[in-house]
Structure 1
Amino acid sequence: MRKYFYEINRPDRNLRMRQYIYWIGPYRYNWHEELEIMLILKGQVELSCGGVSYCLEEDDLIVIDSNVGHASLARSEGSIAMVIHLDPSYLRVYYSPVEDYRFFGCTDEHTRDSRPAKEIRRMMAFLITRMDTSSPLEKLRFEQGVSSLLLQLFQLFAPRRIDRSEAAKTQKQKDIMERVVAFVEENYRQRITLKELSRLCGYNTTYLSTWFKGHIGLNFYDYLTRIRLREATLELCSTDKTILEVAGDNGFGDVKSFNLCFRRTFGKSPGEYRRQILAENKGMDFKEKRRFLPLDHAAVNEKLEEYQLKFESFGTEDLFVGRRLLGQEMIEGILGQAEAAEKWSKNLSEQVGELREKLLELKKTAL
């Protein structure tokens, strides 16, 4: 069965891009070289990025910069997202050196329905339906779509230039991140302490504790618990282990603490979660890192069509969302054009009135 997962690699155009639609699964902290754009198609998703947690609603967008650690967690059942990964080297033509820029932004209740956000959603829907093509004209349309997407994206979320010292600091944080995450991934089943981790990284516990909160958005033990819950949910759905065995095999001291953590995170007991997930997803491979949706998924296709067909024309409310959307000069330019159009309309109305009076006079003379 074909799924919503596509890759494009055009070295001659410096374009390397991946786009897919998937079920938001268990908590997984990761980072990558590509710029990421995530759009929530359905549900509610908690996303931790750069030390801050964001609650994303349906139709929300978030841009995640290259090598910034992030993790998502579904806060409602059946949450679905569309994602684009774009090699940042594609941006060198516009932002150079690209390493000196930071790309980040997230919609909220004020910007979710702005014109740029609507256009971004429309272009993301357009692109995923055009990635599997070999026609020269369609390739041109696709690259035009990528340019349009980036134009709207950077109008909504202006890239920020940083100095070299901040770039070096970012690399240092990445090195710490790699060691910490690798250690936790390998040892989450065992008892791990912050002190043990600090010895591994060469930093004191106070610094490491502050680093966790500032860069991952969670304290160390909350992060460790989420990793354990991630693996526990996979075992609940892919093995016949008892709840007791799942708890013990994933680092929980006892069933009580496992049940408490599970219910606090997912709003139900491990047993309830297992029964519901297995009933709704028969035959699915739960060990897949990501579960991509099939091309014939009715709800997704309806949503993609909605984004493309229900794109509204530019309304006046979009002008006044704030200067984040339109610069002062652009606003003044639009207002100037509106004023000129109003004067032209007034002059035309006066001319029509004069013509009408002359025609009436001619009519009287003829009689």
Structure 2
Amino acid sequence: MNIFFTDVTEFPPHWHEVVELVYITEGSLTIGVNNEVYTMEPGDIMLISGSDVHYFVPIPNQVNRLIVHFDMAYFEAAYPEAKNKRFTRVHLKKGQSPDGEIDVHKLLEGQLTEIINEYNEQRPAYKIVLRARLFDILSILIRNVPMKPYSSQERSRQQKRLSRLENVFRYVEENYASPITLKEIASVANFSEYYFTRFFKEATGMTFGRYLNNYRVEKAAFFLRNSDDSITEVVFKSGFGSIKTFNRVFRQIKGCSPSAYKKDNL
């Protein structure tokens, strides 16, 4: 079990074999889960099942959030039936529990608020308290949040989909600095261009072109923050074909020019 506090506003599509809980404390954030997109406001909670493809849409505004990861082993030890299941309610908002049901949001927010307070104050034995609160959250999820089993056919399709996505993501990671054509990336997933376009959009909620631009901009932002490279050098290190395209895409995603971003992050 792990706790993260972060203000990162962009994260490309990914998945992991853990249950992820995202709690927005400040600002707003758009989160994609599989092919659904959700707008998160302060106080909102998102539940992401293991193997769900998810991503954070880049925005220019400040946002702070708490992320909790539960290894599936914890779930399965306490609730063996959780294996090969996913949450049927993923976006929890204050005061919007279905009639007649326990207010799961209120229960979770109480525990999350205690975690934030304990982490900030760091009084003696705070790590013990944090761990206790995490187990409380685990019990709340198991007792009160409906889960739906994957059928064997769904599980098989999911595993094939994740395997193809993993190949695509790895290829981008290794080749983002070079031109990547649609035909080229489609062959990595063993699809035609037409079927790859449909597959990637359905699996991640975004086009491959948008994903590639987001990935390259995040690489460029890293170089701008952590190197003495000129902007021209960063353009080509991050895979953009021209300074004009780089400036336009960077501004769309980060909300400012590359030079302003570099100046603000010196």
Number of aligned residue pairs: 257
Q: For residues 216 and 247 of structure 1, what CA distance do their matches in structure 2 show? A: 26
What amino acid does structure 2 have at the position aligned with 1:248?
F
1:135-174 matches, cutoff 5 A = 145-153=133-141, 157-174=145-162
What amino acid does structure 2 have at the position aligned with 1:52?
E
Q: Which has the larger radius of gyration?
A: 1
**2:211 is equivalent to residue 223 of structure 1:** yes
Determine which of 102, 105, 126 is the counterpart of 1:117.
105
What amino acid does structure 2 have at the position aligned with 1:267?
G
Deviation at 1:184, TM superposition (A): 0.8
Q: For residues 192 and 236 of structure 2, what CA distance do their matches in structure 1 show? A: 30
Is the partner of 1:166 in helix, strand or coil? helix
**2:222 is equivalent to residue 237 of structure 1:** no
Q: Which residue of 2 aligns with 1:78?
A: 62
**2:182 is equivalent to residue 194 of structure 1:** yes
1:77-96 matches, cutoff 5 A = 77-92=61-76, 95-96=79-80
Deviation at 1:93, TM superposition (A): 5.2
Deviation at 1:28, TM superposition (A): 3.3
Describe the shift of the 1:111–1:277 C-alpha distance in structure 2 as closer, same or farther (beyond 3 A).
farther
Q: Is the 8 A contact 1:189 1:249 kept in 2?
A: yes
Describe the shift of the 1:242–1:156 C-alpha distance in structure 2 as closer, same or farther (beyond 3 A).
farther
Q: Is the 8 A contact 1:25 1:74 kept in 2?
A: yes
Q: For residues 23 and 99 of structure 1, what CA distance do their matches in structure 2 show? A: 31
Q: For residues 246 and 192 of structure 2, what CA distance do their matches in structure 1 show? A: 29
Is the partner of 1:251 in helix, strand or coil? coil
Q: Is the 8 A contact 1:44 1:56 kept in 2?
A: yes
Q: Which residue of 2 aligns with 1:342?
A: none
Describe the shift of the 1:92–1:268 C-alpha distance in structure 2 as closer, same or farther (beyond 3 A).
same
Is the partner of 1:29 in helix, strand or coil? strand
Identical-residue share of aligned pairs (%): 25
Describe the shift of the 1:101–1:95 C-alpha distance in structure 2 as closer, same or farther (beyond 3 A).
farther
Describe the shift of the 1:147–1:196 C-alpha distance in structure 2 as closer, same or farther (beyond 3 A).
same
Q: Is the 8 A contact 1:45 1:79 kept in 2?
A: yes
Between 28-37 and 184-193, the greater mean CA deviation after superposition: 28-37
Describe the shift of the 1:179–1:111 C-alpha distance in structure 2 as closer, same or farther (beyond 3 A).
same
TM-score normalised to the size of structure 1? 0.63
Q: For residues 227 and 112 of structure 2, what CA distance do their matches in structure 1 show? A: 37
Deviation at 1:124, TM superposition (A): 2.0
Determine which of 191, 199, 208 is the counterpart of 2:196.
208
Determine which of 30, 35, 51 is the counterpart of 2:14.
30
Q: For residues 227 and 91 of structure 1, what CA distance do their matches in structure 2 show? A: 32
Q: For residues 275 and 76 of structure 1, what CA distance do their matches in structure 2 show? A: 16
Deviation at 1:157, TM superposition (A): 4.2
Between 217-226 and 95-104, the greater mean CA deviation after superposition: 95-104
Deviation at 1:165, TM superposition (A): 1.1
Q: For residues 94 and 111 of structure 2, what CA distance do their matches in structure 1 show? A: 21
**2:55 is equivalent to residue 67 of structure 1:** no
Between 148-157 and 35-44, the greater mean CA deviation after superposition: 148-157
Q: For residues 156 and 224 of structure 1, what CA distance do their matches in structure 2 show? A: 38
Q: For residues 154 and 217 of structure 1, what CA distance do their matches in structure 2 show? A: 28
Q: Is the 8 A contact 2:9 2:62 kept in 1?
A: no
Q: Which residue of 2 aligns with 1:277?
A: 265
Deviation at 1:52, TM superposition (A): 2.4
Q: For residues 12 and 131 of structure 2, what CA distance do their matches in structure 1 show? A: 31
Q: For residues 142 and 191 of structure 1, what CA distance do their matches in structure 2 show? A: 46
